[in-house]
Amino acid sequence: MPHRDEPDLAALLAEGYLGAVWLTGQAPSRDLRRGRYTRDSMTHPGKMLPTIPRYAIRTYTQPGDVVLDPMAGIGTTVIEAMYLGRHGIGVEYEPGWVAHATDNIRRAEQAGAPGRGEICHGDSTTLPSLLPSSMRGQVSLVITSPPYGSSTHGHVRTPGPRRGKVRKIHHKYGDADNLAYRDQGELADGFTAILTGCRQLLRSGGHVVVTARPYRRHGELIDIPGMVTAAGVNAGLELVEECVALICGVRDGVIIPRASFFQQKNIRDAIATGDPQWLLQHEDVLILRTPLADSELQARPSAARPGGSAGRDGASGGAA
């Protein structure tokens, strides 16, 4: 199965430049979640790799800081914040995923995670009204990801003894009012409203980390990363860095794809029709920040590029 070699990424990796390239796909997702998440919560159609919030939390926060995910799903950001000694807060629109996130928080508490976690049900386009007023200006880091349409690649079920088609399950969001079902303009407006709410909760100089990737709808490439950047700027945030979080493994300079059955099938079908598409091996990571107050700008020394020792620690792909 052909896949994209990504020579520019390979060159960055060879130089050890881990600030821009996060080695977050070194282990399969199921291994990264083993022991921390309930089996039932694996049915969510759009889970973030746990190593992505682990890396971001280590890089942009300190123990005891508040970390928020306004589109929390099964609570991946919240759980990883708890295990790293932070206070994780999640907001989720669909009550079913709120229940799964609650189970995962309880599991982390029982396992002795040193941080705190909480999840609330609500529409994050009205975010400030969902949390206590005392939270304004207290959040150090927001980590989230917008949906890539209403349907994902989900899980594969192969035919049994009787022959039949390979089918997918757990590939759709449940609520038709979810932003995943909106058109591109409505998604952009909704995500801008979410980031605007986050802006009110963030402390001065607090960061927002958003993972996104382009996807194809009826053959047309949809620029989700571009939409995220525009939403952040419109929400009063400033773009400070663009990174790459690998969803593939890298062994001895060779990329190890972790694409789903349907991703591979779609690429094969496109190539067969003369459309030279490639398997995506990474998520774009857009890092935004609230503007610093004048007093902080004068007091703060020239900042080193994020990702030094914290980044190397978080990029290993192992458990935090």
pLDDT digits (tens, 9 = 90+) for 177-215: 655 555 777 889 999 999 999 999 999 999 999 999 877
Higher pLDDT, 313 or 37: 37
Q: Rounded CA gap, 241 and 304, in Å?
A: 13
Lowest-pLDDT range of 5-9, 92-96, 234-238, 272-276? 5-9
Axis-axis angle for helices 76-83, 51-60 (nearest 10): 50
Lowest-pLDDT range of 36-40, 112-116, 170-174? 170-174
**Helix or strand holding residue 68 (H, E):** strand 66-69
Higher pLDDT, 317 or 115: 115
Q: Rounded CA gap, 222 and 216, in Å?
A: 6
Percent of the chain with pLDDT over 90: 47
pLDDT at position 216 is 67
Residue 161 has pLDDT above 90, yes or no: no
pTM: 0.75
pLDDT at position 1 is 30
Q: Which of 97, 88, 91 is nearest to 46 (CA)?
A: 97
β-sheet bridge partners, residue 256: 249
Average of pLDDT values for 284-311? 63
pLDDT at position 305 is 43
Higher pLDDT, 295 or 111: 111
pLDDT at position 111 is 97
Q: Rounded CA gap, 52 and 23, in Å?
A: 9
pLDDT in tens, 56-73: 999 999 999 999 999 999
Q: Which of 241, 247, 199 is nearest to 51 (CA)?
A: 247
pLDDT in tens, 122-154: 999 999 999 999 999 999 999 999 876 444 444
pLDDT at position 108 is 97
Q: Rounded CA gap, 222 and 271, in Å?
A: 19
Q: Which of 33, 21, 35, 117 is nearest to 69 (CA)?
A: 117
The domains found in the chain, sorted by start residue, are 7-151+177-314 (3.40.50.150)
Average of pLDDT values for 20-28? 86
β-sheet bridge partners, residue 194: none
Q: Rounded CA gap, 156 and 160, in Å?
A: 12
